[in-house]
Amino acid sequence: MKVIMAAAECAPFAKAGGLADVIGALPKELSRLGHDITVIIPKYSLISEQYASKFILKESIEVHFKGRQLPFRLFEYKQAGVTYLFVENDDYFKREQIYGQKDDSERYAFFNRSVLEIVQLQEQQADVIHVHDWHTAMIPFLLKEDQRYASIQAIKTVLTIHNLQFQGKFSKEKFLENFEMNERYYDEGIVEWRGSFNSLKTGISYVDKITTVSPTYRDEILTDFYGEKLNSLLQEKQQDLVGILNGIDTEVYNPATDLAIVREFDAMSMEGKQVNKREIQSKAGLPERGDVPLLTMISRLAGQKGVDVLQEVLPNLLEKEDVQFALLGSGEEKYEQFFQKLAADFPDKVYIHIGFDEAFAHLLYAGADIFLMPSHFEPCGLSQLISMQYGTVPVANRTGGLKDTVIEYDENLKTGNGFLSDFSQDKPFDLALQRCLDFYQQPKHWETIKKNGMEGNYSWSRSATEYAKLYEKLI
């Protein structure tokens, strides 16, 4: 099959979050299955010269946008059987960051049009266009409703929702200005939802199949609690709504071959884990002890991620228990300040790195003992998969992909790879964490839990096969 994927980010070229990891890994696995995969993303100026210098200028193309013919240059790069195409327009993509710009509505409207222009110009027609999140969700609508694309209207479409919270909501004026479609589409509620032009809602309405990044998140978004006010529409489309669990790139995240860590290791020989732990403690200025449990969190610091839960749990834990904690992340100022104060209050127990450092993230996954994920909701989550791959035991909230992948340890059956909370009175997060710490003091159980985690299959091969089956059913 010939599949085109369109997204706002893709690792290793441009990354703001987990979406980039998916677009970096899934196409490679689909290619390994024998499919013809093309990925299209904007050519952001922040793409490292290490990659940009290898891009080949393919052609210059004009697209009709906002009443005029607007040019862009198309660059190509091939790797691991995947063709990557980059849309260059400095007015829209020469920016210091990927998102959070005042003209995001216009930038991604231009990108949507550019993608369809590229698809039209391809010699062999695609079987499927697979779009991701709100940034590309208008493509199925334009494909069906704009006669400029009549020649490619037969192409099937798939939309993956990575996080329903982000919907691309803008004013009616932005819709009319950026898409130049009849205002009846807004007035009749086709692109409008609860008083705004809603990009994701429009994509959900027009796409042939919708996927979520875990089976549990698929069920959750049909409810009022998780549905972000789109659940009634999703209920209407639930026959076309499928949950497929994300994987991780096991070439990038593999403790046996990872060059970013100090000592490689695997499930059969875990001595290297202690070496990495000592390296973290050394870098963080913490006492270099092998016996103390080292807890970590690598995360965007936002309400979704359950930082409020840690605000309640960590000070008390650090006061009473012999533990260490290392954080890597950035986000809301109030949360950054909380963690910085925590480091000031417990200088011998806490290390905080505000920002992001890819190599240090690998080291934390490899050397920490326990990984904290108290998320209020988590469409899939990759950190728990990576941490288990490195023998670091997750303590998580039972939601979304965390529920699908973290299995409560059973000391009698010796099954399970982590510990779960549901924030209820019976299963609060501090109790799940305490249970984890209790087993840390029992070496035989602890080795079993780590090994169970490391022996799980978190690769994209299973997920890619499910996506391929979905495409086949469509065409």
Domain ranges across the chain: 2-247+461-474, 271-454
Inform me whether the pLDDT recorded for 16 exceeds 90. no
Classify the phi-psi angles of 423: left when phi > 0, otherwise alpha if psi is within -120 to 50, otherwise beta.
left
* pLDDT score recorded for residue 464: 97
* pLDDT score recorded for residue 185: 98
Q: Which residue, among 448, 441, 442, 439, has the nearest Cα to 419 in the 3D structure?
A: 439
Report, as an integer, the average pLDDT of 232-257: 96
pLDDT tens digits along 86-140: 999 999 999 989 999 999 999 999 999 999 999 999 999 999 999 999 999 999 9
pLDDT tens digits along 389-435: 999 999 999 999 999 999 999 999 999 999 999 999 999 999 999 99
Inform me whether the pLDDT recorded for 62 exceeds 90. yes
Q: How many C-alpha atoms does 297 have within 13 Å on its Cβ side?
A: 26
Query: What integer best gives the mean pLDDT of the chain?
Result: 97
Burial of 376 (0-12, 13-18, 19+ CB in 10 A): middle
Q: How much of the chain exceeds pLDDT 90, in percent?
A: 97
* pLDDT score recorded for residue 18: 86
Cβ–Cβ contacts within 10 Å for residue 355, how many? Answer: 9
Q: Which residue, among 147, 206, 202, has the nearest Cα to 175 in the 3D structure?
A: 202
Distance between first and last Cα of the chain = 9
3-state SS assignment for residue 241:
strand
Inform me whether the pLDDT recorded for 251 exceeds 90. no
* pLDDT score recorded for residue 356: 86
Whether 271-454 and 2-247+461-474 are alike in CATH topology: the answer is: yes
pLDDT tens digits along 317-327: 999 999 999 99
pLDDT tens digits along 353-389: 999 899 999 999 999 999 999 999 999 999 999 999 9
Alpha helices in 75-123 (DSSP H): 90-93, 104-121
CA angle 309, 310, 313 (to 5 degrees): 95
* pLDDT score recorded for residue 17: 83
Report, as an integer, the average pLDDT of 220-244: 98
Contact (CB, 8 A) for 3 and 36:
yes
Could you confirm whether domain 271-454 is CATH 3.40.50.2000? yes
Residues 400 and 24: their CA atoms lie apart, in Å, by 22
Inform me whether the pLDDT recorded for 258 exceeds 90. yes
15 annotated ligand binder: yes
Distances (CA, A) of 461 to 22, 86, 441: 12, 26, 36
* Global pTM value: 0.94
Of 3.40.1280.10, 3.40.50.2030, 3.40.50.2000, 3.40.50.300, the CATH number of 2-247+461-474 is 3.40.50.2000
Determine if the peptide bond prior to 374 is cis (ω within 30°): no
